[in-house]
Amino acid sequence: MKPIHTDKAPKAIGPYSQAVVAGNLVFCSGQIPTDPATGEFVKGGIKEQTEQIFKNLEEVLQAAGVGFDSVASVNIYLRDINDFKDMNEVYAETFGEHKPARATVGVSALPKNALIEISCVALIK
């Protein structure tokens, strides 16, 4: 396994890697809506937080040599399942015609009281 790290995405807030390459797969750890330049959450609601997470994931994927078109699976954790519609709009804009497998679940709490956390798995082609 090869750990992936980029300064263009937030540092891990625990004993884990931003992503790990194992064989031809990239396993991206869950991202919360932290701006890597400030270390703070982006201002705004679920749409802004989702956009920031996808910016962070894009940087981690690029550090591993892939992009969103290589993503095979996405896991989304929402603190309020009523945010599904707004999150899904940003998700659809991000992935376009590419449709990875996905799970979306409502949870009672997330790190640093985030509204959303997203992880993904991508294929190295």
- Residue 13 reports pLDDT greater than 90: no
Which residue segments constitute the domains of the chain, with CATH numbers given?
2-123 (3.30.1330.40)
* pLDDT band at residue 14 under the 50/70/90 scheme: confident
pLDDT at 102: 98
Long-range contacts made by residues 37-41, C-beta under 8 angstroms, separation at least 24? 39/10, 41/112, 41/114
pLDDT in tens, 56-70: 999 999 999 999 999
What is the model's pLDDT at position 106? 97
Task: Name the pTM for this structure.
Answer: 0.96
Q: What is the pLDDT of residues 91-123, one digit of tens each?
A: 999 999 999 999 999 999 999 999 999 999 999
